[in-house]
Amino acid sequence: MLRSSRSIFSSMLAGCALAVMAPQAQASELVFWSMWNEPEPQAVALRAIMDAYTAAHPETTFSAVWNGRANQTKLRSALQAGTKVDLMDQDGDQLIGGLQKQGLALQLDGLVKADFGASLLPGVFDIYASEGKHYQVPYVYNSVNFWYNKEILEEAGAQEPATFDELLAMCDAVRKLDKYALVVDNDDTYALYYFSYLLERKLGVNALVTTFEDKTGESWLKPEVLKAAQMAQSLWGRCIPDDARGFQYPAGQQTVALGDSMGNLNGSWLPAELSSSAGEDFPWGAFNFPSVEGGKGKQTDLQVALLSMIALESSEHKEEAVDFLEFLVSEEAQKIIVEQGSVGSTRAGVAWPAILEEAYQAATNATAISNIYGGVGINYPDFYTTILAPEQNKMFMGQTEAKAFVEAMAADTKKYWEAK
């Protein structure tokens, strides 16, 4: 009797223990390192998305570290020190050359649903794939378009241009108002928008990368490359004021907010960046970079800078991390990103904030997408940073001739590949 009571008691105890232990074994806390600072609207949106996920999956909670833009670099040191991180986010192009290149990002193929990419806007899931393997889930869409003041365009009696010649005509019309249609800031990266887009319109998507990947350097000497450089230079004085050579970021783009310039070729983050100086009721409009005569690239091809989240290969909660990544681009989560983060969504069918409506249409109708600044910085960041961007800036700012620029690029490209 006593033995039987003992065994019943033992069984009950074991049962209770299992009951207590079972949920503990399944509970997991996902550690997320973020590129946002905590007060930023995008961070607020991500916090809301994590809360929504936890509400649906009470066993999964999040511990977020808001690192700001140097997130990947900070994570580099932390990983070396043995810190356990499950999820992180950063610009997609920076991730390719960083964690993804080093094999520290979790490959998602086979872990996400087979049709996962189909739920996203055209090209989004594939743009950061390496040799067909996917690692990133882009969750914020930034596109590079001309952002402009609609009232000035209307006052000038001009139309949104579809071709480069129409762009020049638009510039002439705006000049009659004693204003300039376009403005730039003089740093190395922003100046590359024009040349890289012109080259892609001349030779097709990813033309800058393919030109650079010709190890002989000869591709730089194609007439189309020289023409693209000359067309970029031709904008000065006609579309872009000469004194813009001295505009240090963000002085140039601020002239759009002040109404002294009509527009700026920039990322779709520009209206948010200028909101405090331009005001909430600024009449923003956006149009794609125009096509060029005889060019292979289409006016509907788009340069983008998507922001991605990845799961770390070293994560101890891979299944939960991947499940969260799928949730991140669900309709529910992406609506939160749009509403609270005021940014573009990567999911098809989720409308962007009203101020970005034209950029949303451009993204939805994009015939091809390529990486911001022509994409050379992704796989060849050393060449991009030390040679291409500074030399291109000198050319664009008129310190060197277009011909001298392409010849220097041909020589530098050959030298680069010979040293590899």
Residues that bind another protein (CB under 8 A): 70, 72-73, 76-77, 79-80, 93-99, 101-104, 185-189, 242-251, 255, 260, 377-378, 381-382, 384-387, 389-390, 393-394, 397, 399
Which lies closer to another protein via its Cβ, residue 23 or residue 237?
237
For 136-294, list the strands marked E by DSSP: 137-140, 144-149, 180-182, 261-267, 284-287
Q: Closest distance between another protein and the C-beta of residue 101, in Å?
A: 7
What is the β-pairing status of strands 369-371 and 307-311? unpaired
Q: Residue 309 forms beta bridges with which residues?
A: 89, 137
Which lies closer to another protein via its Cβ, residue 188 or residue 301?
188
Q: Closest distance between another protein and the C-beta of residue 397, in Å?
A: 5
Q: Closest distance between another protein and the C-beta of residue 161, in Å?
A: 26
Q: Closest distance between another protein and the C-beta of residue 242, in Å?
A: 8
Phi and psi at residue 285, to the nearest 5° = -135, 165
CB 72 within 8 A of CB 102: no
Q: Closest distance between another protein and the C-beta of residue 19, in Å?
A: 41
Which lies closer to another protein via its Cβ, residue 10 or residue 102?
102
Q: Closest distance between another protein and the C-beta of residue 377, in Å?
A: 4
Which lies closer to another protein via its Cβ, residue 98 or residue 297?
98
Which lies closer to another protein via its Cβ, residue 367 or residue 399?
399
Which lies closer to another protein via its Cβ, residue 112 or residue 408?
408
- How far is it, in rounded angstroms, from Cα 217 to Cα 416? 9
- In angstroms, the Cα distances linking 62 to 28, 46, 77 are 8, 11, 21
| H or E element in which residue 165 lies | helix 164-175
CB 380 within 8 A of CB 395: no
Q: Tell me how far apart the 2 most distant CA atoms of the chain are, in Å.
A: 106
Q: What is residue 36's DSSP assignment? A: S
- How far is it, in rounded angstroms, from Cα 409 to Cα 38? 42
